[in-house]
Amino acid sequence: MVTTIQIDEKVKSKLDKLKVHYRESYNELIERVIESYSKEDKESLVETIEIMSDPETMRDIAKAMDDYRKGRFKDLEQVEKDLGIDK
């Protein structure tokens, strides 16, 4: 069942900043926040909220996840080689 809720523009703006990706629905966002709350202890929850409240960090995380999915990354072996680290 789908329902409609009313929120004020300030709350909507805050929710928009918490989205991992612009296409993430508010339903998905709220579920993600609720799930993280029920699984995390209070200290971890505070850290998670701080991270999720930083739009730049969330954009960086989303970009990194996208890069990984598209194969745009180096594995540890390549990084060690680039840095001249011998095992």
pLDDT, mean over the chain: 87
Domain-wise residue ranges, the chain: 9-83
Distances from the Cα of 38 to the Cαs of 13, 22, 26, 34, 83, in angstroms? Answer: 24, 25, 18, 6, 42
Q: Residue 13: which pLDDT band, with cuts at 50, 70 and 90? A: very high
Check: pTM over 0.75? Answer yes or no. no
| CA geometry: angle 81, 63, 29, nearest 5 deg | 140
Candidates 16, 18, 25; CA nearest to 48 is 18
Q: How many helices (H) and strands (E) does the chain have?
A: 5, 0
Task: Name residues whose C-beta falls within 8 Å of residue 36's C-beta, 6 or more positions apart in sequence.
Answer: 45, 48
